[in-house]
Amino acid sequence: MGIECLAVTRTVTLQRVVQQLDKQQVQRWKNHIAMLVIFFTSVFLFFSIVQSEKPANDSGICHYALHVENDGPVTLDVPITISAKLDCASNEDEYFYIFEDDIQRTVQIPGHGSAKAVFIFTDDPGTRMVTVLVFQLFPSPKRVAAGNTFFNVYEYIPGSLHFSGAVINRNNHLIVTTGERTNVSLEVHYPTEVLKHSEFSYSWSIQETRFTTTVPYKIHIFNETGIQLLRAAVVARVPSYDGTNTSHFKWGYFDGELIAKDPFTNFNISGNTYLQHGQLLDLDITCNGSGPVDYCWKILPPNENETNLSCIEPVSANECSFPIIYYFHESGDYMLAIYVDNLVSSVQRNIEIHIYDVSLRPQLSTVIIPVVCTVLVVLIIAGAVVVHLRRQTSYDVETADFDFMTPEEPNVIAIETSWEIMRRSLLQLLQMRSVYCTSDGATLTNYGTILRTQEEINTNSAQLNE
């Protein structure tokens, strides 16, 4: 009995020892696995950071690339700086840069990711080239990249003129506004280091007026329209870069051309905007801005107000004067938007157009006036006929043949014939009637007599013949 109890006790003790050993072994494995995870995570992060510092292509492999730049252009006897930057260069590796110009002058500079070299050209202005070669020294010397750069070497100082507020038209002409301040500036194209250590003086010729300044700009107001010629000159005192404490002078000449134009200050629209249906819209547009101008116009509905009209296909005119002719197919109210631009200013006007219908009922005046005119013509014709008939009956007078002459009075009284009576009557119609007054104040109208003396007949005949 005692032996069995001892065996059971040893068995229980062994099981407990095995369980403790299993727990310790599991804990050790867990610790090992955690350390391995931390190790591999650190390695992964390290390579990720290193890889992110180097540019790579699509395949993940970094290739060397060299970028070469210069700070030109320059003039003769002025230094120019050539800069080289190497992509994929390691900060721990050392590289060797060789700069060589087109006359076989070389500059060798050791470095890491970038290097610079300075060249001075003393003769033969023109386009020059500098080539850069990069070699890796370790683990074995080899060339890893190459590149070059081009620049111009001038005899005179290079630069350009600029005009503030100027616009460029379709013919590449510079346009400025008259009456406004224009900043005319001169930009010298020189290396930065040379600009810092040099002294400059400027002279200007604008509209035959000359100025001298120590700053590279001049404020000017153009008052005349048309083509304006400008000239500028710059003189620079440049230090010598040969190690001596001396200086030399460089200069440059520049000229420019621009066109000054008047802006729009007055815009006139003449013509009828209240039309009958069927009439043409005929407007004359004038303004006092300088030409040539570009314009366009558009017919809009009455409720639409175009505030920013743009010309897709503008019409050009040499002067700011042009007509607008349009036919409206339907009556109603419209809005006419007009836009004019001469590059220095623009103007837009919106005009209301009214088209009303014409009534087809004939007006009363179109009926009364023709009727009244017809009646008057008939009355005039009838009156003329009556007057003519009355005068015709007055001409038909019988001639009585009475012989009252005595032998002692021959040829004193002559008898008028019918033809003579008609001629005398016609003459009386053309003359004023003779009015005689009697002794008692009464008037007596004498219409002539049948019997006339020979002297009166001869007188009347002579007047009629005249």
Greatest mean pLDDT range, 16-25, 210-219, 447-456: 210-219
Class of domain 267-356: mainly beta
What's the rounded mean pLDDT across residues 265-269? 91
What share of the chain has pLDDT > 90, as a percent? 42
User: In 130-261, which residue ranges form alpha helices assigned H by DSSP?
Assistant: 192-196
pLDDT band at 37, cuts 50/70/90?
Answer: very low
DSSP 279: P
Give how far Cα 40 sits from Cα of 36, 60, 73, Å: 6, 21, 55
pLDDT band at 451, cuts 50/70/90?
Answer: very low
pLDDT band at 112, cuts 50/70/90?
Answer: confident
Q: Token pair for residue 464?
A: 């009629």
Just give the CATH number of 65-154.
2.60.40.10
Which pTM value belongs to this model? 0.55
Supply the pLDDT for residue 69. Answer: 95
Supply the pLDDT for residue 83. Answer: 95
What share of the chain has pLDDT > 70, as a percent? 70
Distance between CA 351 and CA 321 in Å, rounded?
A: 17
More confident position, 75 or 301: 75
Q: 112: how many CB neighbours lie within 10 A of its CB?
A: 13
* pLDDT tens string 380-424: 988 888 887 777 776 555 555 555 555 554 444 455 566 677 777
Q: Where are the domains of the chain?
A: 65-154, 159-261, 267-356
Among 76-80, 132-136, 240-244, where is mean pLDDT lowest?
Answer: 240-244
pLDDT band at 94, cuts 50/70/90?
Answer: confident
User: Cα-atom radius of gyration of the chain, to the nearest Å?
Assistant: 59
CA 200 to chain CA centroid, Å, is 38
Predicted confidence (pLDDT) at residue 139 exceeds the cutoff of 90: no
pLDDT band at 47, cuts 50/70/90?
Answer: very low
* pLDDT tens string 303-327: 776 777 878 889 999 999 999 999 9
Same topology, domains 65-154 and 267-356? Answer is yes
285, 338 Cβ separation under 8 angstroms = yes
Supply the pLDDT for residue 312. Answer: 84
Q: 74: how many CB neighbours lie within 10 A of its CB?
A: 26
pLDDT band at 85, cuts 50/70/90?
Answer: very high
Supply the pLDDT for residue 465. Answer: 52
Predicted confidence (pLDDT) at residue 263 exceeds the cutoff of 80: yes
DSSP string, 296-358: EEEEE-TT---SS---SSPEEESSSEEEEEEE-SS-EEEEEEEEEE-SS-EEEEEEEEEEEPP
Just give the CATH number of 159-261.
2.60.40.10
More confident position, 150 or 466: 150
Distance between CA 72 and CA 189 in Å, rounded?
A: 7
Residue type, position 428, single letter? Q
What's the rounded mean pLDDT across residues 192-215? 90
Supply the pLDDT for residue 68. Answer: 95
Q: Would strands 280-287 and 321-327 be described as parallel, antiparallel, or unpaired?
A: antiparallel
* pLDDT tens string 350-389: 899 999 987 655 566 667 888 888 888 888 988 888 887 7
